[in-house]
Amino acid sequence: MKNQSKKDLFFEIFRFLLVGGLATLVDYAVTWAVKNYAVKDLNEGLATFLYTAAGFTAGLLTNWFLQKFVYRYITKEQQRSKVVFLKFVVLSLIGFGITWVGMQLSTPLHDDILVDILFLKNVQLVFWIFKVILTIIVLIINYIGRKLFVFNQKEAELEVENNIEIDKELERDKELNNYNKED
Protein backbone atom coordinates (compact mmCIF):
# COMPACT_ATOMS: atom_id res chain seq x y z
CA MET A 1 0.00 0.00 0.00
CA LYS A 2 1.39 3.37 -0.91
CA ASN A 3 1.49 6.03 1.77
CA GLN A 4 -0.94 8.86 1.29
CA SER A 5 0.77 12.22 0.89
CA LYS A 6 -0.21 15.08 3.16
CA LYS A 7 -1.66 16.88 0.16
CA ASP A 8 -3.80 13.86 -0.81
CA LEU A 9 -4.93 13.44 2.80
CA PHE A 10 -5.81 17.14 3.02
CA PHE A 11 -7.96 16.96 -0.14
CA GLU A 12 -9.55 13.69 0.97
CA ILE A 13 -10.56 15.32 4.27
CA PHE A 14 -11.75 18.40 2.35
CA ARG A 15 -13.92 16.21 0.09
CA PHE A 16 -15.16 14.31 3.17
CA LEU A 17 -16.20 17.61 4.74
CA LEU A 18 -17.95 18.73 1.52
CA VAL A 19 -19.89 15.49 1.18
CA GLY A 20 -20.52 15.39 4.92
CA GLY A 21 -21.65 19.01 4.83
CA LEU A 22 -24.16 18.27 2.09
CA ALA A 23 -25.37 15.14 3.91
CA THR A 24 -25.64 17.18 7.11
CA LEU A 25 -27.75 19.83 5.37
CA VAL A 26 -30.04 17.08 4.10
CA ASP A 27 -30.14 15.55 7.62
CA TYR A 28 -30.91 18.91 9.25
CA ALA A 29 -33.57 19.84 6.69
CA VAL A 30 -35.35 16.51 7.10
CA THR A 31 -34.97 16.66 10.90
CA TRP A 32 -36.41 20.18 10.96
CA ALA A 33 -39.33 19.29 8.67
CA VAL A 34 -40.23 16.10 10.51
CA LYS A 35 -39.80 17.72 13.94
CA ASN A 36 -41.92 20.75 13.10
CA TYR A 37 -44.59 19.17 10.91
CA ALA A 38 -44.81 15.38 11.05
CA VAL A 39 -44.32 14.45 14.71
CA LYS A 40 -45.11 17.58 16.71
CA ASP A 41 -48.26 16.01 18.18
CA LEU A 42 -46.57 12.75 19.30
CA ASN A 43 -45.08 12.09 22.73
CA GLU A 44 -41.62 13.57 23.17
CA GLY A 45 -39.61 10.30 23.22
CA LEU A 46 -41.19 8.85 20.09
CA ALA A 47 -41.02 12.20 18.30
CA THR A 48 -37.29 12.55 19.11
CA PHE A 49 -36.61 9.07 17.77
CA LEU A 50 -38.61 9.64 14.58
CA TYR A 51 -37.16 13.03 13.62
CA THR A 52 -33.63 11.87 14.45
CA ALA A 53 -34.11 8.64 12.45
CA ALA A 54 -35.61 10.46 9.46
CA GLY A 55 -32.77 12.98 9.29
CA PHE A 56 -30.19 10.24 9.84
CA THR A 57 -31.59 8.07 7.03
CA ALA A 58 -31.66 10.95 4.55
CA GLY A 59 -28.09 11.93 5.48
CA LEU A 60 -26.89 8.31 5.33
CA LEU A 61 -28.22 7.78 1.82
CA THR A 62 -26.78 11.09 0.63
CA ASN A 63 -23.41 10.11 2.10
CA TRP A 64 -23.42 6.59 0.63
CA PHE A 65 -24.04 7.76 -2.91
CA LEU A 66 -21.27 10.39 -2.71
CA GLN A 67 -18.48 8.32 -1.06
CA LYS A 68 -16.71 7.61 -4.37
CA PHE A 69 -16.05 11.35 -4.55
CA VAL A 70 -14.35 11.27 -1.12
CA TYR A 71 -12.30 8.09 -1.29
CA ARG A 72 -10.97 8.08 -4.86
CA TYR A 73 -9.51 4.59 -4.50
CA ILE A 74 -12.89 2.88 -3.95
CA THR A 75 -13.30 0.09 -6.48
CA LYS A 76 -16.52 -0.72 -8.32
CA GLU A 77 -16.61 -3.96 -6.37
CA GLN A 78 -16.51 -2.03 -3.07
CA GLN A 79 -19.24 0.31 -4.30
CA ARG A 80 -21.46 -2.67 -5.07
CA SER A 81 -20.46 -4.82 -2.10
CA LYS A 82 -23.18 -5.71 0.37
CA VAL A 83 -20.50 -6.27 3.03
CA VAL A 84 -19.08 -2.77 2.52
CA PHE A 85 -22.59 -1.29 2.62
CA LEU A 86 -23.32 -3.24 5.82
CA LYS A 87 -20.09 -1.90 7.41
CA PHE A 88 -21.10 1.60 6.31
CA VAL A 89 -24.58 1.22 7.83
CA VAL A 90 -23.26 -0.28 11.10
CA LEU A 91 -20.77 2.57 11.52
CA SER A 92 -23.53 5.03 10.68
CA LEU A 93 -25.85 3.39 13.22
CA ILE A 94 -23.21 3.97 15.89
CA GLY A 95 -23.30 7.65 14.90
CA PHE A 96 -27.10 7.57 14.99
CA GLY A 97 -27.00 6.06 18.48
CA ILE A 98 -24.66 8.79 19.71
CA THR A 99 -26.87 11.47 18.14
CA TRP A 100 -30.12 10.00 19.46
CA VAL A 101 -28.80 9.55 23.01
CA GLY A 102 -27.41 13.10 22.94
CA MET A 103 -30.71 14.50 21.69
CA GLN A 104 -32.61 12.51 24.34
CA LEU A 105 -30.35 13.83 27.10
CA SER A 106 -30.69 17.40 25.87
CA THR A 107 -34.48 17.32 25.28
CA PRO A 108 -35.39 19.06 28.58
CA LEU A 109 -33.31 22.06 27.49
CA HIS A 110 -34.66 22.46 23.95
CA ASP A 111 -37.49 24.93 24.54
CA ASP A 112 -35.58 27.30 26.82
CA ILE A 113 -34.32 29.76 24.20
CA LEU A 114 -36.32 30.60 21.08
CA VAL A 115 -34.84 32.90 18.45
CA ASP A 116 -35.70 34.09 14.96
CA ILE A 117 -33.02 33.24 12.39
CA LEU A 118 -33.49 34.63 8.90
CA PHE A 119 -36.91 33.37 7.74
CA LEU A 120 -37.23 30.77 10.52
CA LYS A 121 -39.28 31.79 13.55
CA ASN A 122 -38.95 30.47 17.10
CA VAL A 123 -35.91 28.29 16.42
CA GLN A 124 -34.93 26.23 19.46
CA LEU A 125 -31.35 27.46 19.84
CA VAL A 126 -30.23 24.90 22.43
CA PHE A 127 -31.62 22.04 20.29
CA TRP A 128 -29.49 23.11 17.34
CA ILE A 129 -26.39 23.75 19.46
CA PHE A 130 -26.61 20.16 20.73
CA LYS A 131 -27.28 18.89 17.20
CA VAL A 132 -24.15 20.67 15.87
CA ILE A 133 -21.94 19.39 18.72
CA LEU A 134 -23.16 15.83 18.19
CA THR A 135 -22.65 16.21 14.44
CA ILE A 136 -19.00 17.17 14.96
CA ILE A 137 -18.41 14.17 17.26
CA VAL A 138 -20.05 11.78 14.79
CA LEU A 139 -18.18 13.38 11.85
CA ILE A 140 -14.82 12.53 13.46
CA ILE A 141 -15.90 8.98 14.27
CA ASN A 142 -17.26 8.50 10.73
CA TYR A 143 -14.10 9.72 9.00
CA ILE A 144 -11.82 7.48 11.04
CA GLY A 145 -14.17 4.50 10.84
CA ARG A 146 -14.78 4.77 7.12
CA LYS A 147 -11.09 5.25 6.37
CA LEU A 148 -9.96 2.30 8.50
CA PHE A 149 -12.83 -0.18 8.33
CA VAL A 150 -15.25 0.59 5.51
CA PHE A 151 -13.27 1.98 2.57
CA ASN A 152 -9.85 0.61 3.44
CA GLN A 153 -7.30 1.65 0.82
CA LYS A 154 -5.12 -1.42 1.34
CA GLU A 155 -8.09 -3.74 0.71
CA ALA A 156 -9.02 -1.74 -2.40
CA GLU A 157 -5.48 -1.98 -3.77
CA LEU A 158 -5.33 -5.74 -3.09
CA GLU A 159 -8.68 -6.16 -4.82
CA VAL A 160 -7.38 -4.28 -7.87
CA GLU A 161 -4.19 -6.39 -7.90
CA ASN A 162 -6.24 -9.59 -7.64
CA ASN A 163 -8.50 -8.45 -10.48
CA ILE A 164 -5.44 -7.70 -12.64
CA GLU A 165 -4.09 -11.20 -11.94
CA ILE A 166 -7.46 -12.76 -12.75
CA ASP A 167 -7.64 -10.77 -15.99
CA LYS A 168 -4.14 -11.95 -16.94
CA GLU A 169 -5.11 -15.57 -16.25
CA LEU A 170 -8.28 -15.22 -18.30
CA GLU A 171 -6.29 -13.68 -21.15
CA ARG A 172 -3.76 -16.56 -21.04
CA ASP A 173 -6.60 -19.10 -21.03
CA LYS A 174 -8.20 -17.35 -23.96
CA GLU A 175 -4.91 -17.34 -25.91
CA LEU A 176 -4.36 -21.00 -25.09
CA ASN A 177 -7.88 -21.89 -26.26
CA ASN A 178 -7.34 -19.91 -29.47
CA TYR A 179 -3.99 -21.68 -30.02
CA ASN A 180 -5.60 -25.11 -29.46
CA LYS A 181 -8.42 -24.28 -31.91
CA GLU A 182 -5.90 -23.48 -34.64
CA ASP A 183 -4.35 -26.94 -34.37
Report pLDDT digits (tens) over 72-131.
Answer: 777 777 777 888 889 889 999 998 899 888 888 876 665 665 555 555 555 567 777 788
Report pLDDT digits (tens) over 146-164.
Answer: 888 888 767 655 665 665 6
Under the banding of pLDDT at 50, 70 and 90, the label for residue 1 is very low
The whole-number average pLDDT for the span 59-64 is: 92
User: Rounded to an integer, what distance in angstroms lies between the CA atom of residue 168 and that of residue 94?
Assistant: 41
Mean pLDDT of the chain: 80
Phi, psi for residue 136 in degrees, rounded to 5: -65, -45
User: Rounded to an integer, what distance in angstroms lies between the CA atom of residue 81 and that of residue 167?
Assistant: 20
Q: Are 77 and 56 in contact (CB under 8 A)?
A: no
Q: In this predicted structure, what is the pLDDT of residue 161?
A: 62
Residue 183 has pLDDT above 60, yes or no: no
172 or 23, greater pLDDT:
23
Strands 120-124 and 114-117, how do they pair?
Answer: antiparallel
Domain positions in the chain are 6-151, 153-183
Name the residue among 146, 139, 20, 144 with its Cα closest to residue 84.
146
- Residues near 100 by beta carbon (within 8 Å), at least 6 away in sequence: 48, 49, 52, 53
Per DSSP, helices labelled H in 1-145 are 6-33, 44-70, 76-80, 82-106, 125-145
Lowest mean pLDDT among 7-21, 30-44, 73-87, 114-128: 114-128
C-alpha distances out from residue 156 to 68, 153, 160, Å = 12, 5, 6
Under the banding of pLDDT at 50, 70 and 90, the label for residue 19 is very high
The beta-carbon contacts of 78-82 under 8 Å, at least 24 apart in sequence, are: 78/151, 78/155, 78/156, 78/159
Q: In this predicted structure, what is the pLDDT of residue 140?
A: 92
145 or 103, greater pLDDT:
145
Percent of the chain residues past pLDDT 70, beyond the cut: 77
